[in-house]
Structure 1
Amino acid sequence: MSDPLRPRASLRTAVVWEVLKDALDRRVKATGRDALDVLDTGGGTGNFAVPVARLGHRVTVVDPSPNALFALERRAAEAGVADRVRGVQGDILGLFDVVERGGYDAVLCHGVLEYVDDPAEGVRHAVEALRPAGALSLLAAGLGGAVLARALAGHFTEARHALGDPEGRWGEGDPMPRRYTAEQLTALVTGADVEVGAVHGVRVFADLVPGVLVDTEPGAMEALLKLEAAAAELPAFHSVATQLHVLGTKRG
């Protein structure tokens, strides 16, 4: 399983992980507490939850899949953080059936908004779960990255279709229900009374570079990671990122 703390996996997660760690460190300093309460909605098998727990924080993972929660439990045990990770079955639109409002210092909403029927309500629920000044980490599929990928694969009609589709889909066979631009994501966040702190392009280059190059060229992975980090906050690259990350703070 991938892990943001391991170099190979960090090719896809490094930008988000570094931003998230910094946000949690700031909340620790602001609250004066070493251990934060973190909610990971749609957290699945714990790609972020387990590393966050390794930092000493308490993490609640809400996910609709029993299989994913079982894998999360096993993974947390293997990492020695079973006492700091709790998995509950549910989804973001029914979030307060399983967790309390206003009980968390940080909420992760990664790979969720692509699938929910009402993304605005999903964001509102994530924000309502936060304590005042809590941190919201939002990650979703980017429209531009999908258009670029279809075009580079020679599927020009599908690429053009995605550009004009309200949900950013390239056709009936597209497995992704919805994609976003940076402007759409930030509008969802600000509409939920959250102050946007930063927007990052994620996997700007990683999905386009042949894996064999990264695996065999000496120093290629480290150089690519540095390139991703350098481009992440540049608005010019948001439009071609595979994913978009928004970090915000709840007002109040």
Structure 2
Amino acid sequence: MSRPGGAEPLRPRAALRTAVVWEVLRDALDRQAKAAGRDVLDVLDTGGGTGNFAVPVASLGHRVTVVDPSPDALFALERRAAEAGVTERVRGVQGDAHGLLDVVPAGSHDVVLCHGVLEYVDDPAEGVRNAAGTLRAAGALSLLAAGRHGAVLARALAGHFGEARHTLDDPDGRWGEGDPMPRRFTADELTALVADAGLRVGSVHGVRVFADLVPGVLVDTEPGAMDALLRLELAAAEQPAFHAVATQLHVLAERG
């Protein structure tokens, strides 16, 4: 994922908070295209909202279908795709993870993105199974979800020690009734969901290991700090020891 010294300079195409996922996803798209023997892939972004990932993926030349329950989000997606000049490669469909196979044919996509979805669905296992069901024989799934232990650390560092303990013990990883996040996961929980859906786990990355903890003023005022923090995030993401403190967890899995 990371570029060794002297190779291509790191220029994330998304914000720092999504740079790790983008780097992993871009490499996965390249591998899938080579394996398929074609330049254009069919990509599904379930819960893709306004196109944070869909539009950059389409800018690489791939065809992207975004399934989202919000008409407002799909309208914003259309506008964003037009501004990026990729309207002909982005299609929005209203739907959700529960009824995914009702609006997307089974076995129809090379890569499926399921980012920020499992936290909100009634049945995460069903959500992963449905996403996996839309993959072609050698397809890949990009799964991103909130990390439980990263939330424990964040609440503790903010001085909310009772909430941190509650997050640790709560079955859904919530810090209390006021927590806006319905559910968080450990890396083991996510990889188990993927395996139960019949997919093979390729890699697990910690996302936003440091980005949510480092004061913004340090990044904004110190010369070169943004690039240095990005490189640190990319390096730490691959280390299992940091998965437990990441704000989000990313799993890349494959069929077959």
**TM-score between the two structures when normalised by the length of structure 1:** 0.96
1:8 positional shift: 8.6
CA distance in 2, matches of 1:195, 1:59: 23
Match of 2:218 in 1: 213
Counterpart AA for 1:151: A
Q: Supply the RMSD in Å over aligned alpha carbons.
A: 1.2
Q: Equivalents in 1 of 2:247, 2:74: separation in Å?
A: 26
1:22 to 19, 23, 27: 27
Q: Does 1:240 align with 2:248?
A: no
Q: CA deviation at 1:213?
A: 1.0
Which residues in structure 2 correspond to 1:101-120 (within 5 Å)? 101-120=106-125
Equivalent residue number for residue 45 of structure 1: 50
Cα distance change on mapping 1:106 and 1:14 into 2, 3 Å: same
SS of the residue corresponding to residue 163 of structure 1 reads helix
Q: Secondary structure at the match of 1:240?
A: coil
Runs of 4+ in 1 over 2 A off after TM superposition: 5-10
In the alignment, which residue of structure 2 is the partner of 1:154?
A: 159
Q: Secondary structure at the match of 1:109?
A: strand
Partner of 1:197: 202
Question: For the residues of structure 1 that align with 2:26 and 2:241, how far apart are their CA atoms?
Answer: 25
- The code of the aligned residue for 2:91 comes to R
Candidates 171, 194, 209, aligned match of 1:166: 171
* C-alpha distance in 2 between matches for 1:8 and 1:148: 28
SS at match of 1:43: coil
Mapped to 2, the partners of 1:8 and 1:33 lie a distance apart of 23
The CA deviation at 1:6 is 7.2
Aligned residue number for residue 139 of structure 1: 144
Secondary structure at the aligned position of 2:181 is classed as coil
Instruction: Identify which of 203, 225, 230 aligns with 2:230.
Output: 225
Separation in structure 1 between the aligned mates of residue 207 and residue 252 of structure 2, nearest angstrom: 13
Residue among 29, 32, 40 paired with 1:35: 40
**Alignment partner of 1:178: what SS?**
coil
Q: Does 1:73 align with 2:78?
A: yes
1:168-216, Cα deviation, whole Å (9 max, x unpaired): 0010000000000000000000111110000000000000011111111
* Counterpart-to-counterpart distance in 1, 2:78 and 2:13: 23
Offset at 1:10?
2.7
Amino acid paired to 1:192: A
Say which SS state the counterpart of residue 93 (structure 2) adopts: strand
Q: Residue type matched to 1:140 in 2?
A: A
Asked whether the equivalents of residues 143 and 251 of structure 2 are also in contact (C-alpha less than 8 Å), the reply is yes
Matched, 1:128 2:140: no
Partner Cα separation in structure 1 for residue 13 and residue 47 of structure 2: 23
Displacement of 1:133 after TM fit? 1.2
Q: Structure 1 residue 99: deviation in Å?
A: 1.0
User: Which ranges of structure 1 fall in alignment gaps of 5 or more residues?
Assistant: none
- What's the counterpart of residue 97 of structure 1? 102
> 2: CA distance between counterparts of 1:211 and 1:65?
31
State the secondary structure of the residue aligned to 1:47: coil
How many residue pairs get aligned? The number is: 247
Distance 1:190 1:226, change over 3 A: same
Match of 1:92, SS state, is coil
Contiguous gaps of at least 5 residues in structure 2:
1-9
Q: Alignment identity in percent?
A: 81
